[in-house]
């Protein structure tokens, strides 16, 4: 074999594909009930969209983007996340003109140049939602609610909602300054990434995978002391609504999230491991008051989240939550000579268009291998077409559940299947 997939990518087939599509169906049908509509944006954008939209101090922009120059000497980037592209499209298409609130969802592949490991790929898929135009604790809570309902519907257990507020831009600047002063004398004892984060993005030190359990991190100044009264009130309103909706949460002062554009509410749904360092984040999101404006658009707030599909697929396996999707056939048609085989293909087409899953054996005309096919496909009905059936315009039908066999007129086939379905 000469070719292998690119490092950090995956092929999905058989059960994996069923899982992938099952997740897509559960998630998208649920958020449609919340009034979200699908948006499909290109898989690549002009690089500035992500530099601006994700923030040039973030890990994503600093080291994870697949950026290249196209043949017209333009820098383009394979999308590393969904929000920036959705905001770009929202503005470019002036979706805000006739409505105060725009609710969108997306589902598809993202690309990040990261070190591949469990739950971390270079191509992975996200499902996410964005709501633009409203700044209300009710909306924040309802966005979180939709993620919570997805998790509930999937049946996932052992999961916690971690939530925090990082306040407005001014509060965060004050906080960042305090963190810099606090960490600077000891920064040598932190990982290399954190050393470079000190000046450009000190909040990120708080949720560093390597250093998060350092006592220095645990005792660091807390955002709460730097919040304005408005930010505190807003956050307690969000929590109050979550209480009413009976959505459990853990307020987590060190949760700051990776992207630069968040303000106020930030949250993650995390699968708890016995040892805290291996917690697996399934979904992350938050509110971003300034992102749309920073794109040159109107002063509208946004809020959203994204689930990682591959991580969800792993959890479905681990918690044994995948419904049993049989790929059984309703009908297998057995043709006993070449003419019968052609006729069976015609019948198969009629039945398929009427909604039945129908399989035929293209190769064999003898009974045995064709019955074997019916067995492996767990066929409910076996229709047999031989010389006699062709002459008399009949079909012989075996009902494999009732273990009966009858001969019926060809024209009665739909009636027979319908009556024997239960």
Which of 63/415 has CB closer to ligand ATP? 63
Smallest distance from ligand ATP to CB 10, Å: 10
Phi, psi of 159 (to 5 degrees): -120, 140
Alpha-carbon distance values, 322 to 18, 165, 269, 327 (Å): 9, 34, 20, 14
Q: How far is the CB of 65 from ligand ATP (least distance, A)?
A: 12
Q: Is 46 within 8 Å of 74 (Cβ atoms)?
A: yes
For the bound state, the minimum distance from the C-beta of residue 388 to ligand ATP, rounded and expressed in Å, comes to 59
CA atoms within 13 A on the CB side of 258: 19
Least CB distance from residue 241 to ligand ATP, whole Å? 23
119 or 386: whose CB is closer to ligand ATP?
119
Residues recorded for the chain: 422
Closest to ligand ATP by CB, 147 or 397: 147
Q: Could you give the CA distance from residue 255 to residue 234 in angstroms, rounded to a whole number? A: 17
Residue (of 93, 129, 4) closest to 295 by Cα position: 93
Residue 299 CB, shortest distance to ligand ATP, in Å, is 25
Q: Within 155-269, where are the H helices? A: 169-183, 192-200, 215-218, 229-244
Specify the residue, 53 or 335, whose C-beta has the smaller distance to ligand ATP. Answer: 53
- State the CB neighbour count (10 A cutoff) for residue 75: 12
Q: Which positions touch ligand ATP (CB under 6 A)? A: 81, 112, 114, 119-121, 124, 126, 258, 281-284, 306, 308, 310-311
* Residue 413: CB minimum distance to ligand ATP, A: 49
* Residue 220 or 283 having the CB closest to ligand ATP: 283
Q: Which is nearer to ligand ATP, 89 or 126 (CB)?
A: 126
Give the Cα separation of 422 and 402 in Å (integer): 10
- The nearest distance, CB 223 to ligand ATP, in angstroms, is 18
| H or E element that contains 375 | helix 367-376
Closer CB to ligand ATP, 78 or 413, in the complex: 78
Of all residues in this chain, which one has the CB nearest to ligand ATP in the complex?
Answer: 308
What whole-number distance in Å separates Cα of residue 316 and Cα of residue 120?
16
Radius of gyration of the chain measured on its C-alpha atoms? 28
Dist. CA 212–CA 200, nearest whole Å: 18
């Amino acid at each position: 074999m000469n070719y292998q997939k690119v490092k950090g990518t995956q092929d999905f087939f058989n059960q994996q594909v069923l899982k992938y599509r099952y997740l897509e169906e559960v998630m998208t049908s649920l958020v449609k009930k919340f009034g979200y509509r699908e948006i499909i944006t290109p898989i690549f954008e002009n690089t500035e969209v992500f530099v601006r939209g994700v923030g040039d101090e973030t890990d994503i922009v600093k080291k994870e983007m697949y950026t290249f120059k196209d043949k017209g000497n333009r820098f383009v980037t394979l999308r590393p996340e969904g929000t920036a592209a959705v905001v770009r499209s929202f503005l470019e298409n002036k979706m805000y003109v006739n409505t105060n609130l725009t609710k969108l969802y997306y589902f598809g592949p993202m690309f990040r140049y990261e070190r591949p490991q469990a739950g971390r790929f270079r191509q992975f898929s996200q499902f996410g939602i964005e709501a633009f135009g409203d700044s209300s604790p009710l909306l924040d809570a309802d966005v979180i609610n939709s993620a919570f309902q997805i998790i509930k519907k999937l049946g996932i257990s052992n999961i916690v909602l971690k939530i925090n507020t990082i306040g407005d831009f001014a509060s965060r600047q004050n906080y960042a300054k305090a963190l810099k002063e606090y960490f600077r004398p000891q920064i040598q004892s932190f990982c290399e990434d954190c050393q470079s984060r000190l000046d450009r993005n000190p909040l990120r030190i708080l949720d560093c995978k390597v250093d998060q359990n350092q006592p220095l991190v645990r005792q660091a100044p807390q955002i709460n002391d730097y919040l304005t009264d408005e930010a505190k009130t807003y956050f307690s309103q969000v929590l109050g609504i979550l209480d009413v909706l009976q959505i459990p949460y853990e307020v987590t002062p060190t949760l700051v999230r990776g992207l630069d554009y968040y303000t106020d509410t930030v949250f993650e749904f995390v699968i708890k491991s016995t040892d805290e360092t291996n917690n697996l984040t399934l979904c992350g999101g938050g509110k971003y008051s300034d992102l749309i404006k920073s794109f040159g658009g109107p002063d509208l707030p946004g809020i959203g989240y994204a689930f990682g599909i591959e991580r969800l697929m792993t959890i479905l396996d681990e918690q044994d939550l995948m419904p049993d999707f049989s790929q059984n056939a309703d009908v297998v048609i057995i043709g006993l000579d070449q003419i019968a085989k052609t006729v069976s293909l015609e019948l198969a087409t009629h039945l398929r268009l009427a909604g039945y899953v129908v399989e035929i054996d293209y190769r064999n005309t003898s009974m045995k291998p064709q019955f074997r096919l019916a067995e492996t496909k767990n066929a409910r009905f076996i229709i047999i077409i031989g010389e006699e059936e062709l002459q008399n315009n009949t079909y012989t039908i075996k009902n494999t559940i009732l273990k009966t066999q009858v001969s019926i007129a060809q024209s009665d086939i739909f009636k027979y299947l319908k009556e024997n379905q239960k």
